[in-house]
Chain A
Amino acid sequence: MTENQRDKPLDDEAPLDPAAMLAIVEHQQRSITNQMGGFVPVMTAVWGAAWLLGFGTLFAQQVTGFPLWIAIVVFVLLLLGAAAISTVFGIRAGRGIRASWQSRFTGTVYGVTWSFGSLALSAIGGGLMYNGMSDALAQHFYPAIYLFFIGIMYIIAGAIWPTVFTIVSGGQLVLIGVISLFIPQPFHLLFLALAAGLGFFVLAVLHRVGQKRPARG
């Protein structure tokens, strides 16, 4: 059976044996899941590129000494670009689907939590700096706390819309954020670039391989 089997009007009424009918169910549901979520490996690779290049730029700034503001602008633009691409993918995948009231509520609260949480972390960082956190410590604090937050949000997303892949991605980000705190500057930035960037590329490949695996039966 092909990925999108074109039905044949003459024999599509005819039932097959139970094993073949069960195979139709599994194949069809896998096909739908892959068509709706086919963008996930690409989106994961986009985030891998954003982490790799973003933290790589911050590391390069520390090593070569070009203006910090340039590195920060590049970093923020890369993350905003990846977020924009994710949003477009998400909207495309959901086209033609009318969500239930509960789904819309969950989606809205989850979306607002991203903005609210990001702003809160920014304020927490500001508060810590106001109370004497040094610039050097801030360079460790901000990436770690944001990766922790993003990772937790991934895990929550994986719990709401059950996906083990998203939970694993989130757990990976939390771990990377925590480990980075124990790596001396500026090599923690190199670690973040490689671990988050390449780690997401590996996850993208694994997810793509999982999508191509044939259904059982």
Chain B
Amino acid sequence: MDELDPVIHAQARLRIVSALATLDPGESITFPRLLELLDMTAGNLSTHLRKLEEAEYVLVTKSHQGRTPVTYLELSKAGRRAFEDYLEQLRGLLGGAS
């Protein structure tokens, strides 16, 4: 059995990736809305998002609503695939329970 992906296999990042995986492919969410849904601190969310972005699991898009800058976040294809592989591995470790 391969080792579990260390980028996802950490509680906070697993919560972030699980949340982003509920969005449809191509959908993205603003940083404040994700913060609200996860109930994390802004600093902690930023730190873990940076690690996910460095691993190219999360895409960060900067945009503007009027004059206000908005940051949108979404799982990349690689991130979604890594999350699915991770879940499969976990279920495998648990004896195939779904």
Alpha-carbon distance A5/B18, docked complex (angstroms): 14
User: Would A9 and B11 be within 8 Å (CB), given that A18-B93, A18-B94, A95-B33 are in contact?
Assistant: no
- 23 residue pairs from A and B, CB less than 8 Å apart: A5-B39, A6-B41, A7-B15, A7-B40, A9-B41, A15-B9, A15-B10, A18-B94, A21-B90, A24-B14, A25-B18, A25-B90, A28-B15, A28-B18, A29-B22, A31-B37, A33-B22, A35-B37, A96-B33, A97-B27, A97-B33, A98-B72, A100-B27
Q: Chain A, interface size: which category?
A: 20 to 34
Q: Which residues of B contact A28 (CB under 8 A)?
A: 14-15, 18-19, 38
Specify the chain A residue showing the minimal Cβ separation from B19.
Answer: A32
A101 close to B26 (CB less than 8 A): yes
Instruction: Say whether A103 faces chain B, with CB atoms less than 8 Å apart.
Output: yes
Min CB gap B35→A, angstroms: 10
Min CB gap B74→A, angstroms: 8
Alpha-carbon distance A13/B91, docked complex (angstroms): 21
Instruction: Say whether B21 faces chain A, with CB atoms less than 8 Å apart.
Output: yes
Alpha-carbon distance A28/B14, docked complex (angstroms): 9
B interface footprint on A1-42 (CB within 8 Å = 1, 0 otherwise): 000111101011111101101101100110111011000000
Min CB gap B8→A, angstroms: 9
Specify the chain A residue showing the minimal Cβ separation from B51.
Answer: A13
Min CB gap B83→A, angstroms: 9
Instruction: Say whether B87 faces chain A, with CB atoms less than 8 Å apart.
Output: yes
Alpha-carbon distance A95/B41, docked complex (angstroms): 20
User: Would A25 and B14 be within 8 Å (CB), given that A7-B44, A35-B37 are in contact?
Assistant: yes
A7 close to B12 (CB less than 8 A): yes
Instruction: Say whether A102 faces chain B, with CB atoms less than 8 Å apart.
Output: yes
Specify the chain A residue showing the minimal Cβ separation from B20.
Answer: A32
